Chain A
Amino acid sequence: MKLTNWLFHPFDRLAGFKALVLGLVFLALSVALVTWFKARYDGVLNLHFFETVSWSAVALDQILNALCLLVFLGGSNYLLSNRKPRLINLSGTLILAMAPMTLLPLQNANGALSDLSATVAQDPTAALNVLQLISPAQLIFSTIFSLALLAYHVYLLFKAYQICGDFKGPKLGLSFALALLLAFTASLFTQHQLLPL
């Protein structure tokens, strides 16, 4: 199978238990990398950098994110698909679709983004002169890198949602967008209630 097929249609070959195991490996790796590079997931589609973070909070963030995706995307698929999806396929593909977020904290490899966050946290007006705190090259790289990974993450979530159910017409896109929005909102809300940043 070609690399492009693995990248853009991974769930044609990988679903169920194997996808779940691989997804959990990526989840564990993401907790390690996010802790190492001093970040916290803020909902299912966001990441912030800090001066210090604890691995247990990062792990709980990721567990909450995975649960929100499963409840809302999985629930929507179960309720709206023309046939009932299997739970093992839904959980395997949706958790593996979170894999691109594993790479997101790497943009803080030199520590510049956590330093920037610390400076802005102490003096919010410093954000107005952001280019004095971080190089333009890193700012551009960081923006493109984050957007590309986020787009890929959402694309994989969509492919997982699509392959696990049987949708006809616009129901697929509309139900996915609504379920993702609900998952994002719920993950933000629960995280801010249970584990404030």
Chain B
Amino acid sequence: MKSLPATCPACQHKLAVEQLACPECATKVAGQFDLPVLLQLNAEQQDFLLRFVKSSGSLKEMAKQLNYSYPKVRNMLDELIATLKTLENETD
């Protein structure tokens, strides 16, 4: 399956969802829905977040998994937090 784009390829503006469809019965729901903040992260950030939750928030464990040093992983987390704050502010 293709990955979900979060920004417009033409103007880089944040994309919104206009239609959702059930793959089982083909029911369609149309409207104007904002993408959840977590889906607006890029693939790398989403992967980092998933690993973070799966490792119970242990940065030491994350560092082992990713083969990075502890401060590098800590900096990646800080960048992710900053991105999430920016996205939340944009949504508000």
- A residues within 8 Å of B by Cβ? 11-16, 19, 82-83, 85-86, 89, 93, 163-164, 166
Contact = CB atoms under 8 A, between A and B. Distances in A.
A12 B78 contact: no
B75 A16 contact: no
Given A163-B75, A166-B75, A12 B70 contact: no
A13 B71 contact: no
Contact of A13 (B67, B74, B75): B67
A6 to B, nearest CB: 12
Interface size class of B (residues with CB under 8 A): under 10
20 contacts: A11-B69, A11-B71, A12-B68, A12-B69, A13-B67, A13-B69, A13-B72, A15-B71, A15-B72, A16-B69, A83-B74, A83-B78, A86-B70, A89-B69, A89-B70, A163-B71, A163-B75, A164-B71, A166-B75, A166-B78
Contacts of B67: 13
Nearest to A85: B71
Interface string B58-86: 00000000011111101100100000000
Contacts of A15: 69-72
